[in-house]
Structure 1
Amino acid sequence: MATYFVGDIQGCFDDLQDLLQQANFNPQCDQLWLTGDLVARGPKSLETLRFVKGLGTAAITVLGNHDLHLLAIDAGLAKLNPKDKTQSIFNAEDKDELLLWLRQQPLLAYHEDFNIIMVHAGISPQWTQHQAALYAEEVNAQLRGDDYQILLAHMYGAHPDYWQGELQGFDRLRFIINAFTRMRFCAPSGQLEFHNKHSPAENDNAQHIPWYEVAGSHLDGAHVIFGHWAALEGHCSHKNATTLDTGCVWGNSLTMLRWEDKAVFSVSCPIHAT
């Protein structure tokens, strides 16, 4: 049995299949962990959802910002981004089944044997890893409930951008969602910054620090695997974190890591996002 971790698919289904074939992935005995954003700007979001769902227990995925946006569109709470190629999902006969499955997925997944935490964007520097797991479950409990649409209606926005334990209601849940699914840079205090999508090398603002370089205990303990930040091109400066989004949808590559021997598999991708 082998355990594979793969970066953001974003509907690049054919590229995923090429990568799995290269690694000789066997769903009968192997397991595939995905960093979220299964859908969006690639050409086959519907096929990607069906495939990952069809893997059953052989696949573990977390929710990304594009996955949550898909759920909000279906609930009539957001509009389809013209750049996203997800209309086929809403036309599919199995749409309800697929989206019900999607909203059952967690914001944080923990691999007990390897002591690995997987999230989409990161862990707030103001949290411990134990707190992160608890806060993720707060959101997941709401998202899996019958009134999940109320959460989706209140999840958009950049405030509050600083964590305080006394945050309540949708302000609290919004911060948690933003930290897990949108975070890249932070201020040294841990305050979230949402506009800077550059790489750290291209960053010219000294007050913007990658979330994994901010002082805190958020990376003490389990190794953290994340995606979301394509501009990192797979490079992370912290020894206890690994990033796997290498910008497949932008014409770069799709990257997968086999944890047991740290073998890295990669396929070059055509430009899908326009």
Structure 2
Amino acid sequence: MATYAIGDVQGCYTAFRKLLDVVHFDLKHDKLWLVGDIVNRGPESLEMLRFVMQSDDAITMVLGNHDLHLLMVGAGITPHHKDDTIQSILNAPDREELLFWLRHQRLFYFKEKYALVHAGLLPAWSVTKAARLAQEVESALRRDDYQKIFTQLYGNEPTYWLDNWTGAERLRVIINAMTRMRICSPDGHMNFSYKGSLQTVPAGYMPWFDVPQRASLDSIIICGHWSALGLYITDKLVALDSGCIWNGQLSAIRLEDRKVFQIHCDKSIMTGC
């Protein structure tokens, strides 16, 4: 049995299945961790979502910002973006089953020395604390009145964490850190506008994972979200968004020996990505 982690698929199901073939993934014996953003931008979001939903316990995923966007659009809270490719899900006969299942997925997951999150963790959050905070959001998303909660979750403020935040502000900071953050100040103020490379990070900010003595350093964080960063692996970080949707690569890592597998996401294996 092996455990693989794969970066942002974003609806590129054909490329995803090609990568599973490359690693000889066996649904009955292996495990797969997905860093989120399994849908949107690529042409096969419906196929991707159905595959993950039907894979029982073989696949563990965390929610990314595009997955949450699908839920918001499906709930009628926010309109489509011009480059969305989620209409096939919204038109599907099993739409409600798919959205219900997605709404019940994790925001954060950890096992032994590894932690899985879409974007990142604020400097003050240990992995144990992050797990507790994620459960607050997960519980809110699963409530019967989730549509009311959705109306309060979008926005960039607050940009920092306080333990005494309550209500929508508290949930919004947790979601934004775990699904949108790339950089922050040393004291944990997030910047959501920057999407560039490591070399051009604005003054006063740094990659969230480079903040000195961040509380999550006792674990290896597996994440995605930052395509301009590309595949980026250190002792304490495995960043897997290598820009498949932008004709880059789709990347996987086998956790047992940290062997990396990649495929090029060109038109020969992707129908429109």
**TM-score class, shorter:** over 0.9
Does the 8 Å contact 1:161/1:191 carry over to 2?
A: yes
| Other-structure match for 1:233 | 230
1:165-193 Cα shifts (integer Å, max 9, x gaps) = 11111000000000000000101211000
Identity of aligned residues (%): 44
Counterpart residue type for residue 198 of structure 1? G
| Other-structure match for 1:179 | 177
Does the 8 Å contact 1:129/1:217 carry over to 2?
A: no
1:197 is displaced (CA, Å) by 0.5
Distance 2:252 2:214 in 1: 27
SS at match of 1:267: strand
Pairing 1:218–2:219 present? no
TM-score by length of 1: 0.95
Pairing 1:206–2:200 present? no
SS at match of 1:118: strand
Distance 2:98 2:87 in 1: 14
Distance 2:200 2:261 in 1: 27
SS at match of 2:4: strand
Pairing 1:163–2:161 present? yes
Pairing 1:123–2:126 present? no
| Other-structure match for 1:143 | 141
What stretches of structure 1 of length at least 5 have no aligned partner? none
1:254 is displaced (CA, Å) by 0.1
1:215 is displaced (CA, Å) by 2.5
Pairing 1:59–2:59 present? yes
1:89 is displaced (CA, Å) by 0.3
1:148 is displaced (CA, Å) by 1.2
Does the 8 Å contact 2:125/2:216 carry over to 1?
A: no
SS at match of 1:37: coil
Does the 8 Å contact 1:219/1:240 carry over to 2?
A: no
Does the 8 Å contact 2:159/2:189 carry over to 1?
A: yes
| Other-structure match for 1:152 | 150
Match of 1:260 among 246, 256, 263: 256
Distance 2:243 2:215 in 1: 25
Distance 2:117 2:75 in 1: 24
1:150 is displaced (CA, Å) by 2.0
SS at match of 1:175: helix
State which drifts further: 60-69 or 263-272.
263-272
How many pairs does the alignment contain?
A: 270
TM-score by length of 2: 0.96
Counterpart residue type for residue 133 of structure 2? Y
| Other-structure match for 1:69 | 69
SS at match of 1:122: coil
1:107-144 Cα shifts (integer Å, max 9, x gaps) = 101123xx211000011112122111110000001111
Distance 2:128 2:168 in 1: 21
| Other-structure match for 1:96 | 96
Does the 8 Å contact 2:134/2:174 carry over to 1?
A: yes
* 4+ long deviations beyond 3 Å: 271-274
Distance 1:235 1:258 in 2: 15
| Other-structure match for 1:242 | 238
Does the 8 Å contact 2:117/2:222 carry over to 1?
A: yes
